[in-house]
Amino acid sequence: AKSFQGKAADEMEVIVNKIRYAKGTTISLDGAASGILKAVSALDGITNPQQQVKDTKVSSFPAKRASFSASRLGSELLSESLFILNGEEMWMVQVLFTSKSKAGRAIADNILSSVKIAQVP
């Protein structure tokens, strides 16, 4: 697994993970999305969590888009994530932000809509 983490703007964090699984491993995009949503829901101070998962495609590969929001410590915590399956590789791109982030939703949408996966021969 490889992981990269950085700051996209004030009150925003971007996480990119690439996991290569052993041949023959059953990989579930639904399971990956569910696991991330469960982990974010378990953060201290989370109340009233709302979540949604939709089927999508990224660079012709099957993908899931997961959206999360909840009240947390006096503001709203939001997460937009993509899970992309390419053979034995799964990519996850997650943008975490708060309601305090200026244009947070638009920035998260721009980041996720820019994601492309190149086919490896």
- Give the position of tokens 């996720």: 112
- Predicted pLDDT at 59: 93
Q: What is the pLDDT along the chain (121 residues), one digit of tens a residue?
A: 565 666 666 678 899 999 999 998 889 999 999 998 898 889 899 999 999 999 999 999 999 999 999 999 888 999 999 999 988 899 999 999 988 887 888 999 999 999 998 866 5
- Give the position of tokens 């190149």: 118
Q: Could you tell me if residue 68 is left (phi over 0), alpha (psi between -120 and 50 degrees) or otherwise beta?
A: beta
- Predicted pLDDT at 102: 79
